[in-house]
Homo-oligomer: A and B are copies of this chain.
Amino acid sequence: MGEKWVLMKTAQTPTNIAVIKYWGKRDETLILPVNDSISVTLDPAHLCTTTTVAVSPAFQQDRMWLNGKEISLSGGRYQNCLREIRTRAREVEDKERGIKIEKKDWEKLHLHIASYNNFPTAAGLASSAAGFACLVFALAKLMNVSEDESQLSAIARQGSGSACRSLFGGFVKWIMGKEDDGSDSLAVQLVDEKHWEDLFIIIAVVSSRQKETSSTSGMRESVETSSLLQHRAKEVVPKRTIKMEEAIQNRDFASFAKLACADSNQFHAVCLDTLPPIFYMNDTSHRQDNQLC
């Protein structure tokens, strides 16, 4: 096995927009949510992350660049994804180039990762969802991992909760699961992207500034201080999720829009009920919301 080779894979993953919102974790490390959520995956031609992963015996350490700028991989979320994928890595052979990576080699080999978002990062457009889904998917391809999308979604979930929903097109449900180890907290496709082809999604960017409160710290504060969050998670979302699945199956736009608006507003309501309050909407989004809902 020569020392100069580099093996690469590139993947492209769209972002997804929740129509039944994920807000609140019951386990911070494994990223297990307090309720099911449902999202629609956008067309990858529009909002997406493109990630190239490369492996080479010449690499001295795992490194990553986001939008051309190197970022640290030392955080638990990256480490969890890398570890989970490496555990499942299998033998890879490129006969033409005379490259062979044994299963056991993956532990010693280092990765270089380059990721680009073609839309504003951390501005409420689920950049981390697309990013982690793309990272996990690209690594799975590079490492010849045999797990299916749902199994990969449980890995992507450990990078960013909503990332698990970006591994499928169409409408996707993140089942919250019951197990303490998170093994049943994964995404399933409800219907594929062809099911509702005359549904168009318009993304209106009212501000491309980074959010003042990250989703991670925001939902932690909501879980700790909002007296409405648990009621929403336990009493409201389960019923709403059933209705939303029906609306999607029946392509019932009136019900779909009403449920999506109601749930989005309730998510923002829980944010407002947090101490200190979190605002993800401004006057412009309020005006849009008033016209739509």
A-side residues, CB < 8 A to B, are: 225, 227-228, 231-232, 235-236, 258, 261-262, 265-266, 268-270, 272-277, 279, 282-283, 286, 289-290, 293
Contacts and interface: CB of A to CB of B under 8 A. Distances in A.
Contacts of A236: 227-228
Contacts of A290: 276-277, 279
A191 to B, nearest CB: 26
Given A282-B283, A283-B283, A293 B276 contact: yes
Given A269-B270, A269-B272, A283-B283, 15 more contacts: A227-B235, A227-B266, A228-B228, A228-B231, A228-B269, A261-B275, A265-B273, A265-B274, A266-B273, A269-B273, A272-B272, A275-B293, A277-B286, A277-B290, A282-B286
Contacts of A232: 227-228
A225 B289 CA distance: 16
20 contacts: A225-B262, A227-B232, A227-B235, A228-B228, A228-B236, A228-B269, A231-B231, A258-B275, A261-B277, A265-B272, A266-B272, A266-B273, A268-B272, A269-B273, A275-B293, A276-B290, A277-B286, A279-B290, A282-B286, A283-B283
A194 to B, nearest CB: 31
A274 B293 CA distance: 10
Nearest to A212: B290
Select the residue from A273, A286, A289 with max chain B CB neighbours within 10 A. A273
Contacts of A272: 265-266, 268-269, 272
Top 7 nearest A-B pairs by Cβ distance? A269-B269, A269-B273, A269-B272, A231-B231, A227-B236, A265-B277, A283-B283
Contacts of A266: 227-228, 272-273
